[in-house]
Structure 1
Amino acid sequence: MFKREKTERLKNNIKYLIKSRGETQLSLCNASGLTRTTIYNILEGRVVNVQQSTIRKISDFFGVSYKEIETVDFEEREIIESSVSLQGNMNPAAVPVIKESLLVQSLDKRIGELVATHPLTYFFGTACNLIGVLLENDISGVNEAGDLLIVKKGLSSSGREKLVYDKTTKTLFVTNESYFDSDVIRLIGDIMEERFNGR
């Protein structure tokens, strides 16, 4: 495939993935660390040669193969897969399971890297940038040690409960608050699913 065709495929896939996964350009930028200008220029077709590191950040965010994002038409493929599938469901997403004690040091790593180094569980639903947090301590009144929380990592754009880390007490807690003092609190992300005692 020529560079221009690859860039066009990449652009179309990003637009489709943003729409189909319920994301925005802003949520993609915030979670992947890319600037809005970079994403805008790709989507407007102003870049012919997109850097591999940029492509990898985008594909990691959506949980798709970075080789395929430039060469496969995801919209066409998902339409075919959903019409062939007996249940009409998409494939489950592989989610790396991270122990609470390893969580903070793992937050800056990409999902693709975490998937290769941690045990996996699966999430059935539309979401990307997911991690599983295996609790080693109780969260008062909410969860017990052994529970697994499936969390959409990064900045929140929903009214869901959020998992946050208190830097002072070095403990996790669950909140509905939207604003935090980043010197004290680190947002882990939105809780998508709870599995009690790892079930």
Structure 2
Amino acid sequence: MHRREKNEHLKSNIRYLIKSRGETQLSLCNASGLTRTTIYNILEGRVTNVQHSTVRKISDFFGVSYKEIEHVDFEEKEAIDQSISLEGNMNPAAVPIISEGFLLGCLEKTVGELVTSFPLTYYFGSAHNLLGVLLEQDIEGGNTSGDLLIVHRGVICREGDNLAYMLSTSRLCIWRGQEGESNEVHVIGLIVEERFNGL
């Protein structure tokens, strides 16, 4: 496949994945570490040869393979998959399990990096950029040490429960969007699944 075709696949896939996953260019930039200018230039076709590391960061963010994002039309592929597969018949996403004590040091790393360094669990659902956070301390309001929280990193939901880090206490907490913004709280992401200790 020629470079021009790869670039066209990359552009259309980024547009489709942003839209279909409920993301924005900003959330992609924030989570992947790429600049808005880089993403803009790719989408506008101003880059003739996108760097390997840039494509890798984008594919890691969306939880797709590096080769697929340049060679496969995801919109067409997912339309076919949905038309022939039964509800729930999907491949699970591999999720790195990070103990609470290591979490802050891992937030700048991509999921692709983390899955090679930490044990894995699997999530059955349509999500990407997921982390499994293994609690070492109880969280006020329901979660206890040993619980595993599956977190959609970088996503904040006004109606749902978000996992956050409280700067004043250096502890994790549950943050709800309606509580308002605070400089004391660093939101890690939306909790998409809770697995309670022993289950």
Q: Please indicate, yes or no, whether the TM-score normalized by the shorter chain is above 0.5.
A: yes
Kept in 2: contact 1:25–1:36 (CA 8 A): yes
The alpha carbon displacement at 1:51 in A equals: 1.3
**CA shift digits 1:96-129 (9 cap, x unpaired):** 1111111111111110011112122222222211
Write the deviation string for residues 28-79 of structure 1: whole angstroms up to 9, x where unpaired: 1121121222112211222111111211111111011112211112222222
The equivalent residue for 2:128 is: 128
Does structure 1 conserve the Cα–Cα contact (< 8 Å) formed by 2:163 and 2:191? yes
What is the rounded CA distance, in whole Å, between the counterparts of 2:115 and 2:17 in structure 1? 20
Cα contact 2:175–2:187 (8 A) shared by 1 = no
Q: Judge conservation of contact 2:62–2:128 (CA < 8 Å) in 1.
A: yes
The one-letter code of the counterpart of 1:95 is V
Task: Could you list the structure 1 runs, at least 4 aligned residues long, displaced by more than 6 angstroms after superposition.
Answer: none
| Corresponding letter in the other structure for 1:179 | E
Match in the other structure for 2:196? 196
Aligned to 1:11: 11
AA paired with 2:143? N
Q: How far, CA to CA, are the matches of 2:180 and 2:27 in structure 1? A: 15
The counterpart of 2:182, out of the listed 174, 180, 191, is 180
Match runs of 1:19-30 below 5 Å:
19-30=19-30
Deviation for aligned residue 1:155 = 5.2
**Residues 82 and 89 in structure 1, CA contact (< 8 A), matched pair in contact too:** no
| Match in the other structure for 1:62 | 62
Structure 1 residues 124-181: Cα deviation after superposition (integer angstroms, max 9, x where no partner): 2222111010111110222111111111112526432211112342211111145231
* Worse-superposed segment, 30-39 or 85-94: 85-94
Shift of 1:194: 1.3
In structure 2, relative to structure 1, the CA distance for the partners of 1:163 and 1:47 (3 Å cut) is same
What TM-score results when the alignment is normalised by the length of structure 1?
Answer: 0.90
Aligned pair in 2 of structure 1 residues 178, 51: CA closer, same or farther (>3 Å)?
farther
Query: Are 1:148 and 1:198, in contact at CA under 8 Å, matched by a contact in 2?
Result: no
Question: Contact conserved, 1:130 with 1:153, CA < 8 A, in 2?
Answer: yes
TM-score when scaled to structure 2?
0.90
Q: Distance in 2 between matches of 1:88 and 1:154?
A: 25
> What is the match of residue 83 of structure 2?
83
Residue matched to 2:105: 105
- What is the total number of aligned residue pairs between the two structures? 197
